[in-house]
Structure 1
């Protein structure tokens, strides 16, 4: 691996030569020399420097983006070679959209660690679009996301079904109704996820399906914030059964029974479109595809 590339990326992320030197266990003059050599090789300045900060300029942003991808490819290559002689071990960078990452993935990771304690997973949470971009740029080995999308650089396959329900506070006036028409909810405040979220996509599809257009919508960037807001009576929402299992069992949230619901959607597994995967990735994919560690849905709770 080109050491200059690693030094450049570290300086860009630390925004400081001294901190970068400490991270790399090098002297500051050595770091400066690597940067100067690298800039000469590229043919232009990449960093804006002053006494307070070091920042990427326009050329630096381009080089940084590609440098991250190159370093990711190098790390992946080295892991694949190491795997030829060893059992499944090492780092496993995983990305997941919030519903799966926060409410399902911990069960999968626990199952993985029981069988393969030498694998060290790291988890990045983001919306569907963000996770797909990180996998495509080789910064993540695996992504699990909500919603439907296509990407020319990625292999995409459905791995699990998710059921989504309209959720209200236990103190809502409809909480004890046995059945309700969705048209009765038009004047409610609907709390939805941000654009790019799989949960938001499912909500929009439900609105279209019922030709239903709420008068009041609030957009929040976190499922946990939405749940807390609904519990406090701020509005109602559409959420995955995995996200509300605990609150439903405790009685702090209620699920409305409406004809045509629940909404069904798929979680999809995304990986690089290649036949080569590390052993750590392969065993994790095997667990995912068998669905053997997914938390079960008990419809009696609803």
Structure 2
């Protein structure tokens, strides 16, 4: 073999940091050693993996082609190393989740995963759909749990479970006493919504597309809890996932509003990079997600049972 796993680690670190000094620091080695190893890798095959602009390293076309293959090879090596060293079948995993999923579902799944595989480290990143998609596409996360309909040529999108948004208000709001809301009601109220780029906002905009240009959007917030607090304070009406509102509805601090004729149903999805090696840890996470989902919400997909 004419290359080493260490050379591939340095190549990927340089791709991530776009700077050989920062790449060396991330691997706890000297800049000169990292630079020499990267240079040797290129010279061995008479190739160039980066365009060098000053101190910046930018992946060229060949480098971008090699990156997912190097990621997959190192992931396989890491899994083998973990199995040999700890006799564990699940290694470290980096999971991304959108706001509703991350704050109301993923933490419980993470706790179950770590209880089942105590030697496996889990990192959880919570952001909106747009951000999680970008991180999975860039190999910064092993997989993502998203609530938006998203197509990406490099990502595999697997349906996970059903969900729905709910229009809601404070109990004291005038609309809380109405059995159903008409379009005129939807146009008259002030709305407190998630920001553009979120899966929740995507579903809301689709459901209200014909009214959207004339709706009064008072606030656009990144956090579900902030929306709930603003609606509780009487600032307006909101629309977020039912799973985020169950406790508030039970306590009657917030109440659901009936909006007939508006389809607020949606799905949650798993996303994985098509060229990323699917480790045992990823398979175990997908399986646990499905085990912890109510049967009436679960979407059967054979790709989760690989």
- For residues 286 and 39 of structure 2, the distance between their equivalents in structure 1, rounded to whole angstroms, comes to 43
Deviation, structure 1 residue 69: 5.2
Who is 1:174 aligned against?
175
Who is 2:211 aligned against?
212
1:1-302 counterparts in 2 under 5 A? 1=5, 2=7, 4-5=10-11, 8=14, 12=18, 17=21, 23-27=26-30, 42=48, 46=52, 56=56, 60=58, 66=64, 72-82=71-81, 86-208=87-209, 211-213=210-212, 214-217=214-217, 218-260=219-261, 263-273=264-274, 277-292=278-293
Secondary structure at the aligned position of 1:281 is classed as helix
- For residues 127 and 253 of structure 1, the distance between their equivalents in structure 2, rounded to whole angstroms, comes to 24
Unaligned runs of 5+ in 1: 50-55, 297-302
Greater CA drift, 3-12 or 143-152: 3-12
Greater CA drift, 149-158 or 232-241: 149-158
83 and 285 in structure 1: CA distance in 2 versus 1, 3 angstrom threshold: farther
Secondary structure at the aligned position of 2:246 is classed as helix
Q: CA RMSD in A?
A: 3.6
38 and 173 in structure 1: CA distance in 2 versus 1, 3 angstrom threshold: farther
277 and 171 in structure 1: CA distance in 2 versus 1, 3 angstrom threshold: same
Greater CA drift, 35-44 or 111-120: 35-44
**Is the 1:248–1:254 Cα contact (8 Å) retained in structure 2?**
yes
**Is the 2:15–2:58 Cα contact (8 Å) retained in structure 1?**
no
Residues 199-258 of structure 1, C-alpha deviations (whole Å, 9 max, x = no match): 1111011103xx323432233233233222222222222110112223222322221123
Q: TM-score, normalising length from structure 2?
A: 0.74
**Is the 1:154–1:270 Cα contact (8 Å) retained in structure 2?**
yes
Deviation, structure 1 residue 172: 1.7
Secondary structure at the aligned position of 1:131 is classed as helix
**Is the 1:146–1:267 Cα contact (8 Å) retained in structure 2?**
yes
Deviation, structure 1 residue 175: 2.5
